[in-house]
Amino acid sequence: MRKEGNHNMKQKLEQIKAEAMEALGGVSASDALEQLRVKYLGKKGEITAILKQMGGLSAEERPVIGQLANQIRAEIEQAIAQQSKRLEAAALAARLELETVDVTIPGQTRKIGMKHPMYQVLDQIKDIFIGMGFEVVEDREVELAEYNFDKLNETEGHPAREWSDTFYFTEDSKILLRTQTSPMQIHVMERQKPPIRMVAPGRVYRKDEVDATHSPMFHQIEGMVIDKGITMADLKGTLSQVARQLYGEQTVTRFRPHHFPFTEPSCEMDIQCYKCHGAGCSTCKGEGWIELLGAGMVHPKVLEGCGIDSSVYSGWAFGFGLERLALAYFKISDLRLIFENDVRFLEQF
Ligand code: PHE
């Protein structure tokens, strides 16, 4: 009976082992593996159940069965560990497969912005002047009336100083949003000794109603050259060259007398219409010419006011509106389009 019990238990253990090995071989998920571990090795598992029956065995039989049970337990444990490793490796391989990046698939193109058309023109203008040895300077938009007007020889009573024309911050009309970039002439002359060659782009403000050609905020570019022996010929030569670089080699310029308080003599420069070449068309409003900028020889009073000896130094200055130039350049008909920032419009450039 005992001998039989022994034999039975041996058989039972071998059977458990065989079953367990087969089940383990077919397992393909880690939770199923864990279930098998509990089934065979757990506290209520099959091997434990066998061990619990060992009380009925003789003293000689017990170690034999015990040893066999332990050995089988160890073998099953090892098989589980092996299988667990295999499953982990398979899971990793599957994940790597899943996360593989196919570098040959075309990417999603992201929409990137571009420079505003007016600033594209500004860049071009800056490049032209930098190429001629000019320095680009930028400065404040809130100005003292002293710099915006007085030091530019625009004395009390000048129409540009009217409240209806200018954005003042204070009742005493001393601080304002600059109405022109010309105060940059003064700032540069005050902090820098000649020779000076500078351009100063920036925003300016005037109390204008918005329409197709006006805005209370717009951009100007100021330019100035101060050195010994500078004449009107330098002004004409330089600005004509700038016009040719902007509008093409064939561009014809003309200079008309004008008046600005801070230049003497003063002029305006026109270019012959690039569309009709002077015949008159809608672009030049039948004139044949397009007004581009105001300029002149820097007034001796302005030079002296900045501590520059006007008997030694002379110079010229110019200023023009950037929006109008961009409108003409891109053949845009309405100034408002420049500021509305409608992407459908801006994307065209
Ligand atoms: N500041 C003048 C304007 O706004 C332009 C100008 C600048 C004229 C420099 C002459 C010299 O109209």
C-alpha distances out from residue 185 to 141, 202, 224, 314, Å = 14, 13, 7, 13
The conformation of residue 152, written as its DSSP 8-state character, comes to G
Residue 304 predicted with pLDDT over 90: yes
Q: Give the pLDDT of residue 5.
A: 60
- From 188, 196, 260, the mutation candidate for ligand 1 (largest count of ligand atoms within 8 A of CB) is 260
pLDDT band for 66, please (50, 70, 90 cuts): confident
Distance 138 CA to ligand 1 centre (A): 17
From the CA of 224, give the closest atom in ligand 1. Answer: 9
pLDDT for position 64: 86
1: confidence class by pLDDT, cuts 50, 70, 90:
very low
Average pLDDT over residues 175-179: 97
C-beta 260 within 6 A of ligand 1: yes
185 lines ligand 1 (CB under 6 A): no
Return the percentage of the chain with pLDDT > 90, whole number. Answer: 56
| pLDDT at residue 57 tops 50 | yes
Q: Give the DSSP letter of residue 118.
A: H
pLDDT, tens digit, for every residue of 31-41?
888 998 999 88
Residues 266-281, buried b or exposed e (16+ Cβ, 10 A)?
A: bbbbbbbbbeeeeeee
Answer whether residue 298 shows pLDDT above 60. Answer: yes
Provide mean pLDDT across the span 298-313: 97
pLDDT, the chain, mean: 91
Distance CA 235, CA 101 (A): 62
Say what the pLDDT of residue 8 is. 83
Mean pLDDT of 297-310: 97
Whether the CB of 317 sits within 6 Å of ligand 1: yes
Comparison of pLDDT for 3 and 168, the residue scoring more: 168
Least Cα distance to 336 among 319, 345, 292, 164 occurs for 345
- Can you name the residues that pair with 313 across neighbouring β-strands? 228
pLDDT band at 78 (very low <50, low <70, confident <90, very high): very high
